[in-house]
């Protein structure tokens, strides 16, 4: 039997298979509100047959957006807009849906990637950013304001309130974003965190605020809602955050009842040097998985079904996440099922689409 198409549970959430659709920013919201784009985008992915769909990084406050077009969930208007999208999807798909909650910190206030991605000035619709320390991501950017105690409490409260809004929407899993150089990752890395108080310096101190945020979110939502964390296992910069520190962080998260660890890398520094190749981040997932007992999700240029199957069979991860690859091929799980002799659930309207050579891979979600 295919490992990729075997059942698994994350906390109390049962998944039909081990294919995860990773959160992917779409930069298509209106003042944080989900739009018709999200209905179409998430709708097609909800028909993919994946075991879990995680909604893109969703800002917990307006200044936490990467771009002015980022999705948000910080007030009644953003909650209402996302509700209508989810209600439409739920009419036709039972795929488990999670959401990634994030704050961009010093990497906020930027243009969308296809508009250059550079930081926006106040005159161009940008805003003042915040971070652990007043260190800009690049020399071309205005420095962020170092967060004081009031700012730390505000952001922690924002994560909690956004998580509670997600639960009201019927979202079944919450992922706290501590990767890719955004705010919580900025606290973890000594390259971006040069504080001299209890939140800076030692590894224990640098982990303190991310762990406080996680604990607050975990305590604020029902026990049956799994709460996990996405991390960057390394900054890919000498003297920065690395896999040894990631293992220590993962162990602390496990002790606080994190449901899983989602292992990515990079994003904190322009000095990063990454050798991108097939499965290039999988060894980090393997190293962390050897040290924790909770599920570990691997991601990063996992593009072929047999590649995904092999890494699971060899114990390098418990689940496999796809991002750009599933944007390119939204039916990737269908094709993987055909290759690995698995099964995926689809709306009954699609059952007749099976090619003759692979009859039986599709089953109704009703």
Residues noted as catalytic: 182
DSSP calls for 259-272: --EEEE---S-TT-
Q: How many CA atoms lie within 13 A of 283 on its CB side?
A: 8
Paired tokens of 353:
């689409």
Burial of 145 (0-12, 13-18, 19+ CB in 10 A): middle
Residue in the block written with tokens 């599933």: 326
Question: 316 and 286 in contact (C-beta within 8 Å)?
Answer: yes
CA-based nearest residue to 322, from 341, 306, 340, 300: 300
CA-based nearest residue to 276, from 303, 239, 247: 303
The radius of gyration of the chain from alpha carbons, rounded to an integer in Å, stands at 20
Burial of 315 (0-12, 13-18, 19+ CB in 10 A): exposed
Question: 190 and 239 in contact (C-beta within 8 Å)?
Answer: yes
- Spell out a b/e string for 253-266, using b for 16 or more CB atoms within 10 Å of the CB, else e: bbeeebbbbbbbbb
- Provide the angle, in degrees to the nearest 10, between the axes of the packed helices 76-90 and 36-46: 40
Q: How far apart are CA 182 and CA 177, in angstroms?
A: 8
Q: How far apart are CA 365 and CA 349, in angstroms?
A: 10
- The sign one gets for the Cα dihedral 168, 169, 170, 173 is negative
Query: In angstroms, how far is the first alpha carbon of the chain from the final one?
Result: 24
Q: How far apart are CA 288 and CA 362, in angstroms?
A: 34
Q: How far apart are CA 126 and CA 139, in angstroms?
A: 17
């Amino acid at each position: 039997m295919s490992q990729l198409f075997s059942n698994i549970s994350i906390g109390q959430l049962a998944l039909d298979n081990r294919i995860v659709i990773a959160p992917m920013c779409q930069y298509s919201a209106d003042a944080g509100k989900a739009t018709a784009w999200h209905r179409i985008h998430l709708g097609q992915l909800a028909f993919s047959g994946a075991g879990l769909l995680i909604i893109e990084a969703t800002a917990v406050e307006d200044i936490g957006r990467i771009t002015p077009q980022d999705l948000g969930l910080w007030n009644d208007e953003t909650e209402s807009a996302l509700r209508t999208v989810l209600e439409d999807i739920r009419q036709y798909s039972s795929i488990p849906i999670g959401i990634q909650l994030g704050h961009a910190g010093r990497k906020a206030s930027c243009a969308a990637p296809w508009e250059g991605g550079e930081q926006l000035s106040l005159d161009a619709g940008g805003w003042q950013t915040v971070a652990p320390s007043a260190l800009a991501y690049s020399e071309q950017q205005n420095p962020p304001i170092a967060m004081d105690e009031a700012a730390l409490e505000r952001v922690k409260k924002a994560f909690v309130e956004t998580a509670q809004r997600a639960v009201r929407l019927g979202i079944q899993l919450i992922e706290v974003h501590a990767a890719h150089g955004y705010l919580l990752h900025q606290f973890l890395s000594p390259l971006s965190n040069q504080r001299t108080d209890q939140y800076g310096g030692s590894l224990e101190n640098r982990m303190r605020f991310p762990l406080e945020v996680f604990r607050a979110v975990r305590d604020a939502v029902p026990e049956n809602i799994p709460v996990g964390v996405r991390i960057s296992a390394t900054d890919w910069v000498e003297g920065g955050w690395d896999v040894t520190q990631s293992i220590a962080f993962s162990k602390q998260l496990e002790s606080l009842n994190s449901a899983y660890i989602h292992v990515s890398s990079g994003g904190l520094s322009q000095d990063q040097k990454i050798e991108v190749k097939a499965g290039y981040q999988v060894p980090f997932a393997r190293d962390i998985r050897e040290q924790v007992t909770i599920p570990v999700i691997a991601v990063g240029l996992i593009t072929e079904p047999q590649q995904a199957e092999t890494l699971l069979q060899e114990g390098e991860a418990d689940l496999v996440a796809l991002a750009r690859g599933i944007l390119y091929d939204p039916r990737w799980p269908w094709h993987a099922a055909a290759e690995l002799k698995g099964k995926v659930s689809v709306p009954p309207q699609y059952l007749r689409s099976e090619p003759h050579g692979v009859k039986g891979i599709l089953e109704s979600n009703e």
